[in-house]
Amino acid sequence: MNAEGLVEVVLPGKVEPEGLQIRHGAVPAAGPGQVVIRMEATGVSFAEQQMRRGRYYDQPPFPFVPGYDLVGTVQATGEGVEPGLAGTRVAALVKVGGWASHVLVDAADVVPVPDGIGAAAAETLVVNGITAWQMLHRKARVRAGHTVVVHGANGGVGSVLVQLAQAAGAQVIGTASERHHDALRERGVVPVDYRADDVAARIRALAPRGGVHAVFDHVGGRGIVDSWRLLAPGGTLVSYGSASTRDAEGSKQWPVLKLLLRVWTWNALPNRRRAYFFNVWAGRALAKNRFRARLRTDLTQVFAALQRGEVSAQIAAQLPLARAAQALRLAESGTVAGKVVLNP
C-alpha cells in the first residue's frame, strides 16, 4: 500500500534527552474502528519531561514511544470507519505514541481540524487547549468581571489559559519570570515574578479585596496553600500538576496523592470555596463515549477561538522527529515561550 516506512522515537528508560532512540519499521494497518494518521505535527509537553525521568504517575513501562498528542492526515481507515475520513486533517490526544510518523488511533478519538488551521498551529492547542478550556469553563466557570490568577502565564497551558480567560472577560494576574513580563503586559496581564520571596503577598496586593475568583496552579508543592488562600468565597482552585517535583527522587505517585488529599480535605471543610485536581483523562475509564463527546466539543471550541483570533498559536520552535532530543532539551530549558513542535 505504502512505500514509506514507520519512523518513531523510543524512550528506552530513564535517560537524558540524548538517550532517545530512533526506530524504523512497517507502517501499521488500520484494524476495525481504527484509522492510521500520518503525523504532521506532534509536540513536547511537560508529560514527556516527566516520563523520561520515570516521574509521570501513570506512564507505561519502558521502552515506549512518547508523544501526548498529534495532528495529521488520516491515511487509512479500518472496517466500520466512515471512508470519507481518509484525507482529512485531524487531531488526537493519545498520552503516548505521538512521536511517530504514523500513528494508529481509534476513529472515535479523532477531532477534525477546521480548514485554514495549519498542523503546527493546531498542535499547540490540542492538550494545552483542552486542558485550559476545561479548567476555565467546566471547573472554575470563569465569567466576565472575574479576576483570576494563572501561574506560569507564559507556559504552554498558561498562555492559552490567559487568552481564553480574557476572551471570557476576566482580568488576569499572571506569574512568570521577569523576562516574560513585557510580553504579558502587552497582552493585558498584570505580571508577578514567581521567583520573588513574597509572591502570594504581591498577588494579594493586586487582587480585589475579597480575593480572586480562580487560581490555576501547575506547580503543586507547598505553594498550593498560598494559592488556596488567595481565593474569595465562592472561588475555585484548579491544581493541574506538580511541576515543583519534576526533578525530585522517590515516589512519582506521592506528590499527586498529597495534592489529592489536600484537595479532598479543603472540599470537606465548610468554607464556600472549591478545589479540583484536574486530570484531562478523568472520566475516560468510566464513560468513554461521554469523555469523547466532551473532548470533541471542547477542542472544537478552542479551534473556533483560534479562528476568531481570541487565542494565538504559540510555536516556540519546529524540529524534525529525528531531532527529538534537541526538542526536549529546548522545552526543558525554560527559555522559550509556547510549544516546541516536532514534524516528520
| Residue linked to cell 520571596 | 197
Q: Average pLDDT, stretch 26-46?
A: 97
Distance of CA 218 to the CA centre of its chain: 11
Q: Average pLDDT, stretch 323-331?
A: 97
pTM here is 0.94
Q: Average pLDDT, stretch 101-123?
A: 98
The closest alpha carbon to 104, from 165, 197, 205, 25, belongs to: 25
pLDDT in tens, 142-151: 999 999 999 9
> What's the fold here for domain 6-112+314-342?
Quinone Oxidoreductase; Chain A, domain 1 (3.90.180)
pLDDT in tens, 61-77: 999 999 999 999 999 99
pLDDT in tens, 13-28: 999 999 999 999 999 9
Beta strands in the chain (DSSP E): 6-10, 21-25, 34-44, 69-77, 89-93, 102-106, 110-112, 147-150, 171-176, 190-193, 212-217, 231-239, 274-277, 315-320, 339-343
Q: Is the dihedral of CA 235, 314, 98, 307 positive or negative?
A: positive
Same CATH fold, 126-277 and 6-112+314-342? no
Q: Which residue has the higher pLDDT, 2 or 110?
A: 110
Q: Average pLDDT, stretch 157-175?
A: 97
Asked whether residue 1 carries a pLDDT value surpassing 60, the answer given is no
Span of 39-43, 57-61, 109-113 with lowest mean pLDDT? 57-61
pLDDT in tens, 85-104: 999 999 999 999 999 999 99
Domain boundaries, the chain: 6-112+314-342, 126-277
The closest alpha carbon to 5, from 119, 100, 105, 104, belongs to: 100
In terms of CATH, what superfamily is 126-277?
NAD(P)-binding Rossmann-like Domain (3.40.50.720)
DSSP letter assigned to residue 11: B
Residues in the chain: 344
The closest alpha carbon to 168, from 281, 292, 302, 314, belongs to: 302
